[in-house]
Amino acid sequence: MKKYIVQPGEDVSQIAFEKFGTTNIDRILKDKKNFSFFQKRDPNILQRGDRLYFDEINTSSIEANVAKRNTFTRKGNRKLKVTLLDILGKKFSNTEYDIVINGKFFGKRKTDKNGLLEENIPFTKCECKVFIKKNEFVLLVANLEPVESTRGVQSRLNNLGYASGPVDGIFGPRTRAATRSFQQDQNIVVDGIVGDQTETHLVAEYGC
């Protein structure tokens, strides 16, 4: 049994793939040492310092020519699904867009009739930039911390279109202004403070 201490922004799928070479997260979620932990924590939103336990993963071997250089690549990806809206909340239906993932341009794509973007992305932490009709959306994937943390609030606000500035864990003027704008749009108390009510609305609006 191995123990792993979670780093900022990691989730179960990413850890399982990067650290233990598997895409089967059930063996982690259902392990008796992790079961009670996941009764209260979303596996997609872990917090730095969380402890996870893994059974030893079976390994396999392949033959390789030791007389020359060999390159081995671990393959795997997850799917990003995002509905794109303009500033007025209208869906970008059947609209062409460009996407850049970790600095690599992947060419033109097209949303579906509901404005849904679907892309295969790495299990690793990554930055996705989407350009659509002179709009730019920046999505930090596998980089989300719990809403109770300032970083978690900043990430959600930024991804929802409220410019809270860098995700640095500092609740400064930009984060406070973004919080007030979000509160105003949600028709809740506008005080720039992220209390229980604002956290609840952030989670509901963001989806997690």
- pLDDT tens per residue across span 153-195: 998 898 888 989 888 889 999 999 999 999 999 999 999 999 9
Say how far residue 202 (Cα) sits from the centre of its chain: 15
H-type helices in 7-46, by residue range?
12-20, 26-29, 35-38
Residue spans of the domains in the chain: they are: 2-54, 77-141, 150-206
Q: What is the pTM of this model?
A: 0.51
CATH among 3.50.50.60, 3.40.50.20, 1.20.1070.10, 2.60.40.10 for 77-141 = 2.60.40.10
Contacts of 95 (CB under 8 A, 6+ apart): 84, 110, 111, 115, 132, 133
Better-scored residue on pLDDT, 23 or 51:
51
Say how far residue 5 (Cα) sits from the centre of its chain: 18
- pLDDT tens per residue across span 70-124: 665 555 667 888 888 888 889 999 999 999 988 889 888 999 999 999 988 877 7
Better-scored residue on pLDDT, 59 or 35:
35
H-type helices in the chain, by residue range?
12-20, 26-29, 35-38, 150-159, 173-185, 196-206
Q: What is the fold of 150-206?
A: Muramoyl-pentapeptide Carboxypeptidase; domain 1 (1.10.101)
Confidence check: pLDDT of 67 > 80: no
Confidence check: pLDDT of 57 > 70: no
CATH of domain 2-54: 3.10.350
